[in-house]
Amino acid sequence: MRVVIAEDNALLREGLVALLREKGIDVVAQAEDGAGLVRIVGGHKPDLAIVDVRLPPSFTDEGVRAAIEARRRQPGLGILILSQYVEPVYTQELLAAGDGGIGYLLKERVGEVRAFLDAVERVAAGGTALDREVVAELMGARRERAGDAALDALTPREREVLGLMAEGRTNAAIARSLVITSGAVEKHISNIFGKLDLPATDDDHRRVLAVLAFLQAG
Amino acid sequence: MAAEHLDIRNDESPAPAGDSSALGIYLALTALAGFVTTVIWAATSAGYYWPRWVWFAFGVPLAFWAAVRRAREVPRRSERRLAIHGAVAGVLSLMQIVVWWFGDPGTFWPIWPIQVFVTTVAVHALIVYRDRLPFRRARVLTERVDELTRTRRGALDVQAAELRRIERDLHDGAQARLVALSMQLGRAEERLESQPEIAELVRRARLEAGNAIAELRDLARGIAPPVLADRGLAAAVDALGRRSPMPVVVEVYLDRRLTPVVETAAYFVVAEALTNVAKHAGGAPARVMVRQAGNRLAIDVSDDGPGGANPAGSGLTGLRHRVEALDGSLAVASTAEGTSVHAELPCES
């Protein structure tokens, strides 16, 4: 797996590079700003770009805009955004930005090394990795919507599984996280899709999109 | 020796010590002259008391000195000048009267020079106290209000910019360091698989770092949500609408980015109003309209809920203070047909 990193804070960039290299991931180039990201993606054709939201020169959402531009030039590029805050607007823009894996994680999740590497691999392979805070915010908004009986029809366990699906986790990862068997996870998932009236699919990515579409609907 | 040096240096202070000692010598000499001439006068004719002119020469500088010394104590510069002017004019007038009295007490001629002195002092006083004249007073007050409005606005702008700077510093400083810390703790945890007890300690340390990061994040969000600073009011209000639990129709008409202080105030008006709708309107849909017309920004948030909003509640009162600090206004109308919050903010560019 070939990865590029765009992060202006040297401390974090070096930490991230060290962590990824330690785990045998090939960090082929690094950038400190949005223009640099677009350039190194063009030069190295990586599988994944790990990008800080705030980059120079604007220090606003430069990272999101540069990542979307980089993907426009290299369709299929996985984008894993690291941010110090949850901003659902950016998640929605990224999810709408063409084909390829999308991740949006809070920066401190990098410390959960295994889950982070899991997310890196998933996004590089075209999957989704949304921070649990993002999912919680989407779920909370959806749950509070008046007259929304659909979520209330789920059992607490099924809601947990729904949340993990929305984060982009695979069945195996969900099973590990909840300490249940894969069979139990599959059964929960089929119940959830039945109750929410979502189209069943084996494709993980489509499944995430269906769940997210449901959470954002209404 | 050292003490002497110190004394010399103290003598160099700006107090006009030399003047008064010169005056002292002069007064001593003229007093002596007055005494001697009085003795001579007594010993000779003892008729017309001519040494009075010597005493006159003694009195005039003394009178000047005393009058000016008091006048110089007035603190305000322009008033001090007037006081000195008045003192000099007063002593000169007195001089004229004394000269008239010493000489031929016929026509009271000193009236003419005294009138000139009084006129100049009066004109001077008018100039110094012109701001207290009734027709000037209104204008001065208007200017003062304008100035205060401008400086208060400036202070608020500075404060808003400063808060955003603090937020940025937190992001680039403490938060980044804590993130780096939790990364390193995570790496350490990975290498401690064979020593689960130590790994558990490291994991707890990492979770603590995570809690600290979350607290800093909440603090930063309270200052100004990132999307507001990044994308401006329209995007931030739109995000608020999307995040609300009830359906919200958002319309924003802006032709430019507003100043941080206006953006933040407008954002919090919409946020607080939508929070109230979510809490009290029973899921009724809400409408948000933010419209800039000239130098006014109008914000309307309304719902079709059952009403009953308390305009004196703490949330709305806080909003009102925020809006009024910018010379804006906030009105809340709550009836059985629904509740509406209307705020107006000046937003000159």
Mean pLDDT by 10 residues, chain A (218 residues): 94 93 95 95 96 88 93 94 86 83 93 93 92 85 64 87 90 91 92 86 78 76
**Does B290 score more than 90 pLDDT?**
yes
Least confident span in B22-31, B160-169, B297-306: B160-169
Q: Answer whether A50's CB lies under 8 Å from A3's CB.
A: yes
Cross-strand bridge partners of residue A21: none
Cross-strand bridge partners of residue A79: A49, A102
Dig out the tokens for A66 from the structure: 């540069």
Sheet holding B296-303, edge to edge: B248-253, B286-293, B296-303, B338-346, B329-335
Residue A3, phi then psi, degrees to nearest 5: -125, 140
* Interface confidence (ipTM) of the complex: 0.86
Is residue A187 classed exposed, middle or buried when 0-12, 13-18 and 19+ CB atoms within 10 A define those classes? middle
In chain B, where do the E strands start and end? 248-253, 286-293, 296-303, 329-335, 338-346
Q: Answer whether A166's CB lies under 8 Å from A215's CB.
A: yes
pLDDT of residue B14: 43
CA distance A67 to A81: 8
Is residue A185 classed exposed, middle or buried when 0-12, 13-18 and 19+ CB atoms within 10 A define those classes? buried
Contact list in B for residue A218 (CB cut-off 8 A) is 247
Check CB contact under 8 Å for B245 and A16.
no
Q: Sorting pLDDT into bands at 50, 70 and 90, what band is B316? A: confident
pLDDT of residue B279: 84
B176 at interface of A, judged by CB pairs closer than 8 A: yes
Dig out the tokens for B344 from the structure: 């107006």
Mean pLDDT of the B186-194 span? 92
Check CB contact under 8 Å for A116 and B178.
no
B239 at interface of A, judged by CB pairs closer than 8 A: yes
pLDDT of residue A218: 52
Helix (H, G, I), strand (E, B) or coil at A167: helix
Q: pLDDT, tens digit, for every residue of B49-99?
A: 888 888 988 998 899 998 888 888 888 888 899 999 999 999 999 998 988
CA distance A31 to A54: 13
Alpha helices in A109-179 (DSSP H): 113-124, 132-144, 149-152, 156-167, 171-178
Dig out the tokens for A193 from the structure: 């899709």
β-strands A26-31, A102-106 pairing: unpaired
Owner of token pair 């949006």: A104
Indicate which of A52, A54, A89 best probes the interface with B, i.e. most B CBs within 10 Å of its own CB.
A89
pLDDT of residue A144: 63
pLDDT of residue B71: 87
- Amino acid identity of residue B243, one-letter, is R
B165 at interface of A, judged by CB pairs closer than 8 A: no
- Helix B77-102 × helix B111-128 angle, to 10°: 170
Mean pLDDT of the B233-245 span? 87
Nearest chain B residue to A17 by CA distance is: B183
Residues of chain B above pLDDT 70, percent: 94
Nearest alpha carbon to residue B303 among B345, B253, B241, B252: B241
Q: Answer whether B179's CB lies under 8 Å from B236's CB.
A: no
pLDDT of residue B349: 59
Nearest alpha carbon to residue B179 among B153, B155, B214: B214
DSSP of B234-251: HHHHHHHHHHSSS-EEEE
Mean pLDDT of the B141-160 span? 87
Nearest chain B residue to A64 by CA distance is: B230
Residue B345, phi then psi, degrees to nearest 5: -130, 135
pLDDT of residue B11: 39
Mean pLDDT of the B293-304 span? 92
Check CB contact under 8 Å for A84 and B183.
no
Contact list in A for residue B179 (CB cut-off 8 A) is 12, 84, 107-108, 110-111
In B231-318, where do the E strands start and end? 248-253, 286-293, 296-303
Counting Cα atoms < 13 Å in the Cβ hemisphere of A168 gives 26
Check CB contact under 8 Å for A111 and B209.
yes
pLDDT of residue B8: 41
Contact list in A for residue B226 (CB cut-off 8 A) is 85, 87
| Residue B315 host element (H or E) | helix B314-324
CA distance A14 to A218: 43
DSSP of B194-229: T-HHHHHHHHHHHHHHHHHHHHHHHHHHHH--HHHH
Q: pLDDT, tens digit, for every residue of B195-223?
A: 999 999 999 999 999 999 988 888 887 77
Dig out the tokens for A196 from the structure: 């929410």
CA distance B164 to B117: 61
**Does B3 score more than 60 pLDDT?**
no
Sheet holding A2-6, edge to edge: A26-31, A2-6, A48-52, A78-83, A102-106, A128-130
Mean pLDDT of the B335-346 span? 91
Helix (H, G, I), strand (E, B) or coil at B274: helix
pLDDT of residue B19: 62
Residues of chain B above pLDDT 90, percent: 34
Nearest chain A residue to B189 by CA distance is: A113
**Does B233 score more than 80 pLDDT?**
yes
Distances (CA, A) of A25 to A8, A74, B276: 20, 20, 49
pLDDT of residue A146: 43
Sequence-ordered list of residues with C-beta below 8 angstroms from that of A207, at least 6 positions apart, any chain: A165, A201
CA distance B241 to B252: 12
Check CB contact under 8 Å for B183 and A144.
no
CA distance A98 to A88: 17
Owner of token pair 């430019």: B256
Residues 208-227 (B) with a CB less than 8 A from some CB of A: 209-210, 213, 217, 220-221, 226-227
CA distance B160 to A4: 36
**Does B2 score more than 80 pLDDT?**
no
B300 at interface of A, judged by CB pairs closer than 8 A: no
Contact list in A for residue B233 (CB cut-off 8 A) is none
pLDDT of residue B43: 87
- What mean pLDDT value characterizes chain B? 86
